[in-house]
């Protein structure tokens, strides 16, 4: 009886250990293949001036996707909006303004500041598209998130100057207001599993999976034997 009870306990232990190897996220998830092992995020300060210009610390990519022409390399939408501003508006004989949407709330024209895209329907069923000037404070209040409402990773980067993590963080590459100043928290470096290390990780995953399956089978066999 004692011998059977001991085998039954061993069977349970081996089964639990086997499933732990098969399902434990620290074994399966931590041994990621191809995904970056770590990201390093740092805040980059952005200073806006009354003359419609701004300075951003080196290393900051686009400042915020909600503002056209904030990206480092001008996009097609930015070029079009600049043309609209230069021409004082564009009249289009097509869909009414209510059908046309954009992925951004404002347009930034260098040397002029923030503008809001607008569409005005004219009497001849055409639409005039233009840009209305918006005070900088109003635009930044809408676009920039407050640091106390940002993710934990963003807050730590702002408070300590750096944040390291295994995954991308929410709110990166977007304007955030912190103690009256504006920043963009961006990934400055990342490390990936490549080459020989990737082969080792794959081998470890296979070993863990096969070992876990064998432990489950061995444990189940002991439980069945002890139950006879």
Q: pLDDT tens-digit profile of 138-189?
A: 999 999 999 998 889 999 999 999 998 888 888 888 999 999 999 999 888 8
Count of positions (residues) in the chain: 228
* pLDDT tens sequence across 87-116: 888 887 766 655 566 788 999 999 999 999
Confidence bin at 136 (pLDDT 50/70/90): very high
Residues 6 or more apart in contact with residue 152 via CB below 8 angstroms: none
Instruction: Calculate mean pLDDT across residues 21-25.
Output: 64
* pLDDT tens sequence across 188-218: 887 765 555 556 666 777 777 777 778 778 7
pLDDT of residue 44: 92
* pLDDT tens sequence across 52-64: 999 988 877 778 8
pLDDT of residue 1: 47
187, 39 contact by CB (below 8 A): yes
pLDDT of residue 172: 86
User: Tokens 């069923």 sit at which residue?
Assistant: 125
- By C-alpha distance, which of 116, 141, 142 is closest to 129? 116
pLDDT of residue 200: 65
**Segments making up each domain of the chain, as ranges:** 2-28+195-227, 65-134
The 127-134 sheet, strands edge to edge = 67-68, 106-109, 113-121, 127-134, 90-92
Q: Residue 166 is encoded by which pair of tokens?
A: 């295994």
pLDDT of residue 103: 82
């Amino acid at each position: 009886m004692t011998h059977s009870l001991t085998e039954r306990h061993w069977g349970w232990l081996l089964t639990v250990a086997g499933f732990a190897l098969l399902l434990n996220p620290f074994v399966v998830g931590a041994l990621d293949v191809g995904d970056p092992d770590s990201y390093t995020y740092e805040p980059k300060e952005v200073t806006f001036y009354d003359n419609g210009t701004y300075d951003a610390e080196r290393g900051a990519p686009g400042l915020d996707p909600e503002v056209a022409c904030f990206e480092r390399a001008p996009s097609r939408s930015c070029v079009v909006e600049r043309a609209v501003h230069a021409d004082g508006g564009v009249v289009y004989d097509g869909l009414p303004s209510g059908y046309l949407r954009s992925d951004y709330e404002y347009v930034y024209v260098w040397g002029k500041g923030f503008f809001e895209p607008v569409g005005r329907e004219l009497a001849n069923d055409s639409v005039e598209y233009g840009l209305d000037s918006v005070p900088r404070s109003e635009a930044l209040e809408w676009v920039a998130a407050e640091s106390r409402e940002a993710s934990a990773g963003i807050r730590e980067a702002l408070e300590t100057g750096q944040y390291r993590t295994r995954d991308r963080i929410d709110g990166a590459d977007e304007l955030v207001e912190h103690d009256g100043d504006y920043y963009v928290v961006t990934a400055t470096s990342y490390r990936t599993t490549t080459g020989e290390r990737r082969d080792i990780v794959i081998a470890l995953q296979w070993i863990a999976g096969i070992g876990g399956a064998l432990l489950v089978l061995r444990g189940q066999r002991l439980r069945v034997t002890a139950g006879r």
